[in-house]
Structure 1
Amino acid sequence: MRVNSKEIEILQIIEENGRISINTLSKMLDLSEEEVENILKKLQKEKVILSYSAVIDWSKVHDHENVTAVIDVKVTPQRGVGFDDVAERIYRFPEVKALYLMSGAYDLSVVIEGKSMSQVARFVSEKLSTLESVISTTTHFQLKKYKHDGVVFEDGEEDRRIVVTP
């Protein structure tokens, strides 16, 4: 789909702030609110805009922190469809938060969330590894999140040291 410069500007703005108001967008782009609404509807209809989301620091919410794992998966591609069929089977599992076709030593990178490490391990052993196209997996557990979708996770503590130079 071809998009014009105003549509690109809208996409860039809402990618940074999905909660920005139509009114603010229209002022920033020198368009009417109706024009902005029509552009957004068009981009949603064409599936350029897929969803609006918030980045949550779940480590600050008591009893709601999950375990996140990135699983490297080596698969045998299927004749005629390549990796698409096995990827579709994998992304349909509710635990799967993201799935990417990769270059390099592994074919797919799967990001999953679970309540515990054992729940993630069960997913790998009972669901992922049992798929006939899957040759091998390597699981990496996320220990700490520093930055996600361009948002830096900070403790809020500023460095209060005084810079001393000779």
Structure 2
Amino acid sequence: MAVTKDKELELIRILEHHGRIGTDVLAKMLDENEDNVNACMKKLEDEKVILSYAALIDWTKVTTEDHIAAMIDVKVTPQREVGFDEVAARIQRFPEVTALYLMSGTYDLSVMVEGQTMEGVARFVSSKLSTLDAVLSTTTHFRLKKYKHDGVVFNQDEKDRRMVVSP
């Protein structure tokens, strides 16, 4: 017997926040047979509903190597017949790009980039991204600190060490 659509949606929601949870536990949570849960997960993977199971790492606690992340707002000229898709397809192929979104507002694309140094990210913008024919302008924002990502709060145990100033 297959998992119902409601249970399938519940499974997706659980996996979105707890990707490493075992199928035996998922089966108990969903009050389903473990074989049905495995079959449902396989179906969702085959249909590209589940794209990956990822761990969220706080790299500041693992390595002392520099790691720079930036968000680049990009204004582009949409191409006839394909809109923004063609230029987005070109940008997403760069290995520095970790995420890419079509946005509403002043800029058309939001490009997330990671590199070893600020200069490396700047070189990517000036030599690879800005040189694309459809790109009109870019604005780069460097990430200074990560407080929360994918619903997970970073550095909860850290105390605010700033001096309290009151009038």
TM-score, normalising length: structure 2: 0.91
Cα RMSD after superposing both structures: 1.3
Q: Give 2:131's aligned residue.
A: 130
Seq. identity, %: 64
Alignment match, 2:83 = 82
2:89 is matched by which residue type in structure 1?
A: E
Which residue number in structure 2 is paired with residue 40 of structure 1?
41
Q: Quote the offset at 1:25 in angstroms.
A: 0.3
Matches within 5 A, 1:133-148: 133-148=134-149
**C-alpha contact (below 8 Å) 1:58/1:65 kept by paired residues:** no
Deviates further, 18-27 or 59-68: 59-68
Aligned counterpart, 2:13: 12
Q: Does the residue aligned with 1:81 lie in a helix, a strand or coil?
A: coil
What is the aligned partner in structure 2 of residue 105 from structure 1?
A: 106
How far the C-alpha of 1:60 sits from its partner, in A, is 1.2
The letter for the 1-side match of 2:46 is K
Measured after TM superposition, the shift of residue 62 of structure 1 is 2.4
1:60 corresponds to which residue? 61
Instruction: Show the counterpart of 1:25.
Output: 26
Question: 1:61: Cα distance to partner?
Answer: 1.7
Three-state SS of the structure 1 residue aligned to 2:101 is strand
Secondary structure of 1:19's counterpart equals coil
Tell me if structure 2 keeps the 8 A contact 1:59–1:65: no
1:68–1:112: 8 Å Cα contact kept in structure 2? yes
Contact 1:90–1:128 (Cα < 8 Å) also in 2: yes
CA–CA separation in structure 1 for the residues paired with 2:117 and 2:158 = 29
TM-score normalised by the chain length of structure 1? 0.91
Give the distance between the partners of 2:95 and 2:65, measured in 1 at CA. 17
Distance in 1 between residues matched to 2:33 and 2:145, nearest whole Å: 43
Residue 66 of structure 2 contacts residue 117 of structure 2 at CA under 8 Å; is this kept in 1?
no
Query: 1:156 Cα shift?
Result: 1.6
Aligned residues: 157
Q: 1:25 to 1:117 in 2, by over 3 A?
A: same
Note the C-alpha offset of 1:64: 3.5
Where in structure 1 are there 5+ consecutive unaligned residues? Answer: 160-166
Separation (CA, whole Å) in 2 of partners of 1:71 and 1:113:
11
Runs (5+) with no aligned partner, structure 2: 161-167
